[in-house]
Amino acid sequence: MFSPAVLDHFEHPRNAGELPDATAVVEVENPVCGDVLHLAIRVENGRIAAVRFKARGCVTSMACASLVTELLVGCTLAEARAITPEMLEEHLGGLEPATHHGAELARDAVEALLDRSS
């Protein structure tokens, strides 16, 4: 049902928690399923130096949130804009169609953060 990568990110989330010195913070919600993602970044010298997340939701939403934090660290804001739900899905070894909303939520959070950081 879930790929090993999805389960790994769900069971061992990366970059979970608060980021007290964040330069941008957003919270996005999927109104259909109720999943919530709180995402924070700290930008230094034009690059994302740190990322943290807090989430409430399904296995896939949690896994996508964890993965997107790994992908964001070290990116410029322009590079971060290139992250897509399909990229997240590929990195996680595929998602069931009914769980693709987790990748969409993570992407929505990134887009909202970038809008605040511009």
Position 43 scores a pLDDT of: 94
4-117: CATH topology: Sufe protein. Chain: A (3.90.1010)
d(CA 86, CA 116): 23
Pair 7, 87: CB distance under 8 Å: no
- DSSP secondary structure, 15-38, as one string: SBS--TT-SEEEEEE-TTT--EEE
- pLDDT confidence of residue 116: 86
Q: What is the pLDDT of residue 1?
A: 84
Task: Pick the closest to residue 39 from 10, 11, 50 (CA basis).
Answer: 50
> Quick one: how far is CA 26 from the chain centroid?
11
pLDDT score of 70:
97
* pLDDT means over runs of 10, the chain (118 residues): 94 96 94 91 95 94 96 95 96 92 95 87
The confidence score (pLDDT) of residue 31 equals 82
pLDDT value of position 19: 97
pLDDT in the model for residue 117: 80
